[in-house]
Copies of this chain bind each other. A is one copy, B any other.
Amino acid sequence: MTAQPDASRDEAVIAALVAELGERTVLAGPDRPARNESDWSTLGPQAPLAVVRPATTEAVAAAMRICARYGVPVVPQGGLTGLCGGARPVPGAVALSLERMTGIEAIDPASATMTVRAGTPLQVVQQAADEAGFLVPLDLGARGSCAIGGNASTNAGGNRVIRYGMTRDMILGLEVVLPDGGTVTALNTMIKNNAGYDLKHLFIGSEGTLGIITRLVLRLFPKPACTMAALCALPDYDAVVGLLAAARRGLGPMLSAFEVMWPDYWETVGDMPGVRVPLPQGHAAYCLVEAQGTDEAYDAPRFQAWLEQQAEAGLLADAVVSRSMADVTAFWGVRDACSEFPLVLGPHEPFDIGLPVATMDAYVRACKAALAGRLPGAFALFYGHIGDGNLHIVAGLKGAHPQPKDVIQEVVYGLVREFGGTVSAEHGIGLTKKPWLGHVRSEAEIALMRRLKAALDPDGMLNPGKVV
């Protein structure tokens, strides 16, 4: 690493990047787009030294090599929709955006695989699969903006993990540029490949700290022929656990979502304009169960029969079942209403924790009690992908400016540690959750993460200060 004074080093690296990649690819000074200064976290903007937007793997590798040579760190960027600051520039770093590296390279219908460039928005990937007669089951609210490479770097989750798994489970191969500018092309297209270490897992979910994902091979799935859903009210949390077990057994691999909403959530959403809540308040828990089938003639009556069995078994206090896709969409409207919480609730702290399923309700009760003790008058809504052990929380103190963020985090994450959960089920660590990583990962685990980081990026050139 050359030890030059910063200003001249900054000028030199920009000049070298422009010389190698051209002015269209390297935006510095007043040409830097404001959008590359932040992601969807609450950290606020941080201007990068320059924004580099390569359109090929070779150009990504060249940019990385030049930056490494000058000792200037690189922050990889996809769609900038991350919630934890993983793609936010760090001071003095070059932002390397994959936004121009887009497009579907190949679809192999026989192997059911798609090769795609990392900057391609998820929605474009979904549409290309759909047109080829397949499904890319990864889906999240940011689908129009987020990039598939960012989904891989953060191991994005979403609503149908219970059936299809996380992004990790949908990836067969990767191409990656390493912190030293070397390229590892491992675009495997086979479901089974045990020839040596499976390197892709090192880069999936490591939030751009070990390499820059440039291309991916995705696994394609058959499109479901029909979707059935039910909204259920349950008498207690034991019934939730019972209903989940019954759904796993009775719906088997058709089970595509198992979302639970606690009463405070239901009441808040019920007051929101435009949301139709089809079951009354006052129940202990509410659950959205969804199944995807291959033949409506068989699967719709089976879903109905399964639901009736659960009612007979005493697991349901009340329930409505979908009669059409419009019903399914309306049911999801109740669950997706949380995207309007910033408008409805005002400032608050959002959480994305994980817990063993059996302990969730005890956690919720402990968390509400602790918040009430530490912050009288605080609100806390609980909901999430309970079938996957993933609980979302929004908590805050109405009217407080600033919000008592530290106290809320202490309560939520302190109890997560106590209950054996995780501080991040699907959003990652980035910058914002880094102080809490030690709550749920042991010293030995964090030391091993650091050892991997040192092995791949000894000079800290790639996304420094993130995750570990």
Contacts and interface: CB of A to CB of B under 8 A. Distances in A.
A155 interface: yes
Nearest to A176: B448
B251 A294 contact: yes
Interface string A171-197: 000000010001111101111111111
Contact of A425 (B193, B241, B442): B193
A341 to B, nearest CB: 21
A: contact size bracket: 35 or more
A316 interface: no
Contacts of A189: 356, 389, 420
Nearest to A249: B222
Interface stretch (A31-39, A40-48, A107-115, A319-327): A107-115
A172 to B, nearest CB: 10
Interface string A132-176: 000000000000000000000011010001110110110000000
Nearest to A297: B302
Contacts of A446: 196
Contacts of A456: 451
Give this chain's copy count: 2
Nearest to A390: B192
Contacts of A302: 295, 298
A398 interface: no
A50 interface: no
A368 interface: no
Interface stretch (A17-25, A198-206, A371-379, A399-407): A198-206
A293 interface: yes
A3 interface: no
Q: Which 10 A-B pairs have the closest CB atoms?
A: A201-B201, A253-B253, A455-B455, A110-B358, A190-B389, A252-B294, A192-B425, A110-B357, A191-B388, A190-B354
Given A252-B224, A445-B199, A194 B110 contact: no
A108 B356 contact: yes
B424 A195 contact: yes
A152 to B, nearest CB: 12
Interface in A354-369: 354-358
A228 interface: no
A186 B445 contact: yes
A155 B245 CA distance: 28
26 contacts: A108-B357, A111-B357, A155-B194, A157-B194, A161-B191, A165-B169, A178-B448, A183-B444, A186-B441, A186-B442, A189-B420, A190-B388, A190-B421, A190-B425, A194-B428, A196-B445, A196-B449, A196-B467, A196-B468, A197-B202, A197-B452, A198-B205, A201-B202, A202-B202, A223-B249, A454-B455
Contacts of A448: 178, 184, 197, 199
Given A108-B357, A184-B442, A252-B293, 8 more contacts: A186-B441, A189-B389, A190-B354, A194-B426, A196-B441, A252-B254, A451-B455, A454-B455
